[in-house]
A = this chain, B = another copy of it.
Amino acid sequence: MKLICTRDELLEGILIAQKAVPTRTTLPILQGILLDCRDESLNLRATDLEIGIECSVNAEIVDRGWLVLDSRLLGEIVRKLPPEDVEISVAEGNITEIKCANSFFRLQGQSGEEFPQLPQVDGERSLTMPQDLLKSVIRQVVFACAVEETRPILTGALVECRSEDMVMAALDGFRLAVRNVKLEGVREDICAVVPAKALNEIQRILKDTQEEVHIKLAGNHILFGMERTRVISRLLEGDFINYKQIIPEEYGTRIRLKNEELLESCERASLLAREGSNNLIKLNITKNQLEITSNAEIGDVREEILSETEGQDLEIAFNSKYLTDVLKVIEDEYLRIEFTTSISPCIIKPEGSEDYTYLLLPVRVIS
């Protein structure tokens, strides 16, 4: 095997593929990156057996072949090489020579045959959307996935498509995030639960462009295909929660306020909420004003925010993290929050659209 490519393109490919390399594993080969040039191009591949990432790199293939190199060391070497052509050639026993300008590395590689194959994901069930849109959808939903594995299905987000409507939803028992998207040309109904870990990696790989990403489902796997990169993830098995029934349709109090003001006030109040127990902040809603308070042994805080209030006054308490999380991902300047009672969930929405809904359970406070 022998190939020549530029250091910059090689590095870019390695950085993408590396996202699938597990930090800890009992299977040493998974700490490697497969360099596959059995065809007329160079494909980098890595996997932790849950997620697989494949990335093609422009290269001149002099001799075909394949090989596995240690991912961390290869990444560090290529990062430190000068921005010139890199020649990689493999000799007897998978000894690999990496040449660039006046640098000559030799690394012990492993045979490409030992590297796990990625599952084939071919099928009719597919959809296409702009990369920046999918990135924003994932960003607004995935943080609400459960971290604890007591109910494994909640560690993923539901991806559902019916005709032209796509929805992504996640919940963890304390909050629910739902994002709706209108798409063109959906072929078949899709319903899958994708692990949060895979969505987080895909979000990092997606670019802020309108270039398309192709999503395909087959068997127990989902594939996200971009120009040079393919990400394949296992799906979570089981039925997702029927989240629609827990979204209240009516409210007794509704406030309208600036997202940024609320976020900054919540972040300040969090400084004391964090010192106390439960990360608790209290909201006191009156005509034209929202007051946020929190207290701990070392002190207390009160924040006053102008708001437009409809309906009754209300006192309600939340875990401050669950409130700030959503304020960071809403892109609109103003938002609306709808409440019923101090012990029922509230609904947070951007003012300008019905595409995003965040439901948050309050914390009961004995006062």
Contact = CB atoms under 8 A, between A and B. Distances in A.
Contacts of A73: 271, 275, 298-299
A302 interface: yes
A77 B271 CA distance: 7
Contacts of A288: none
Contacts of A299: 73, 96, 105-108
Interface string A252-294: 0000000000001101100110010000000000000000000
B106 A265 contact: no
A267 B79 CA distance: 11
Size range of the chain A interface in the assembly:
20 to 34
Contact of A80 (B77, B267, B305): B267
A260 to B, nearest CB: 11
A195 to B, nearest CB: 32
Interface string A43-65: 00000000000000000000000
A23 interface: no
Contacts of A265: 102-103
A105 B107 CA distance: 59
23 contacts: A70-B298, A73-B271, A73-B275, A73-B298, A77-B268, A80-B267, A80-B271, A81-B268, A102-B265, A102-B304, A103-B268, A103-B301, A103-B302, A103-B303, A104-B301, A104-B303, A104-B304, A105-B268, A105-B299, A105-B300, A106-B299, A106-B301, A108-B298
Given A80-B267, A102-B265, 10 more contacts: A70-B298, A73-B271, A73-B299, A80-B264, A102-B305, A103-B301, A105-B268, A106-B300, A108-B297, A108-B299
